[in-house]
A = this chain, B = another copy of it.
Amino acid sequence: MALKKKPVTGMRDILPVEMQVREYVTNQIRNTYQGFGFTQIETPCVEHIENLTSKQGGDNEKLIFKILKRGEKLNLETAQSEGDLVDGGLRYDLTLPLARYFSNNGAQLSMPFKALQMGSVWRADHPQKGRFRQFTQCDIDILGDESSMAEIELILATAAALGRICPNNGFTVRINDREILKGMALYCGFQEESMDQVFIILDKMDKIGMDGVKAELLQAGYGQESVEKYASLLDQTGHDSVGVRALGQVLEAVMPKNVADNLAYIMETVTDVAETEFALYFDPTLVRGMSYYTGTIFEVSMEGFGGSVAGGGRYDKMIGKFTGKDTPACGFSIGFERIITILMDQGGCALGDRQKKAYLVEKGMDSARLGDIMRQAMEERRNGMQVLVSQMNKNKKFQKEQLGKEGYTEFVNFYREGLK
């Protein structure tokens, strides 16, 4: 039987040129986050199927790659359903595994715990351009800090990382709070139990605009008055911290006052302290899909590219699902693959300055001379240079072109006769 050359559906081989960009970005992110005191950790790629299907993951739970039980646990003949066959699955994000990790290892971690994770996750989405079934996520999370210091540090660190990776791309951070979303809806007369549907419609704002949102709300049966009041409140609200504080006054009767003050304070401190310049504004229409968010939510977009490049928020209730005791938690995730796509589209990026030299050695070189060549290479490597010693191909021109693409700028030919 001939073996299959292509990767499995929706997953991909990463070629050397892209790999260099990925490594560069990984290093920038890691160095920046570590500078902020985030500590790298790792969890297994496989998780208990019970955890993966515990309703923390929303629609992602439909996309799990499930792993067959092994040995005596697997009994095909008596199996009635998938549940009888499967006991694990590939993780669909890094947040759920982090919550498990924290509940398993909390006693050995410094508190508040600032975690950095970079790893693969898997989702069996329909394959399409730019969307793959295995992809990398880069997450930072602060566990055990209920104060807004967590949000401030997360935004500062992510902004610093993005500023270093893409120094030429301006970016915008939009911020909101689930409590404000809720407060605005209550204030306008929507009922508590209809919130989820209202937010799903509101979330379409950037696609269908205010008129579209109004139409869908009316179509879903909400009262004209509520919908008009909602539209006009959204329209009148200012997007800076002053606007947020003013909104806090308006919503006083339906929302704890400190929610708006807290958000305004985060915005002011971040703007005041950040090392990179970027736009930061309050977006009362920002929803973010995951149902586990309980407080602030944020999302970053980059100039000239649709969609978000990073996002996150506060999820104070997830860890309690493991431990029985709620622990404040807040996280930010960089869309690693999105960043790589942007950089590759822009023709790569600065990749460090190690000089790359290729020694091309004609086939059948005599032994003594090959030893000399290799000794010379070792000497140059000791001096910090990247030296490739490679057989010389018949088509030397093509070989040099290929190596040029990988960043080799200097070539030395060694022929059998002993002349360079």
Contacts and interface: CB of A to CB of B under 8 A. Distances in A.
Which secondary structure characterizes the binding site on chain A? mixed
A110 interface: yes
Contacts of A167: none
Nearest to A322: B3
A100 B399 CA distance: 22
Interface string A388-399: 111101000001
A37 B390 contact: yes
Interface stretch (A172-180, A226-234, A368-376): A368-376
B273 A149 contact: no
B361 A100 contact: no
Contacts of A272: 371, 375
A275 B44 contact: no
A378 B104 contact: no
Contacts of A371: 268-269, 272-273
A350 interface: no
B100 A273 contact: no
Given A12-B44, A100-B3, A375-B273, A381 B36 contact: yes
Please tell me how many copies of the chain the complex holds. 2
B134 A391 contact: no
A217 interface: no
A182 interface: no
Given A41-B15, A45-B120, A67-B68, A104 B273 contact: no
Nearest to A393: B111
A210 interface: no
A34 B122 CA distance: 29
Contacts of A391: 112, 144-145, 147, 149
B42 A114 contact: no
A47 B367 CA distance: 41
A207 interface: no
Nearest to A37: B388
Given A104-B7, A375-B272, A68 B66 contact: yes
A50 interface: yes
Contact of A79 (B14, B76, B112, B134): B76
A104 B370 contact: no
A1 interface: yes
A13 B68 contact: no
Nearest to A352: B34
A54 interface: yes
Given A14-B43, A45-B120, A46-B122, 4 more contacts: A4-B100, A16-B40, A37-B390, A269-B367
16 contacts: A6-B104, A7-B44, A13-B101, A19-B41, A34-B354, A45-B122, A65-B68, A65-B70, A65-B88, A66-B67, A67-B67, A110-B406, A269-B367, A269-B370, A273-B374, A275-B378
User: Which 5 A-B residue pairs are closest in the complex by CB-CB distance?
Assistant: A37-B388, A11-B44, A110-B402, A14-B42, A16-B39
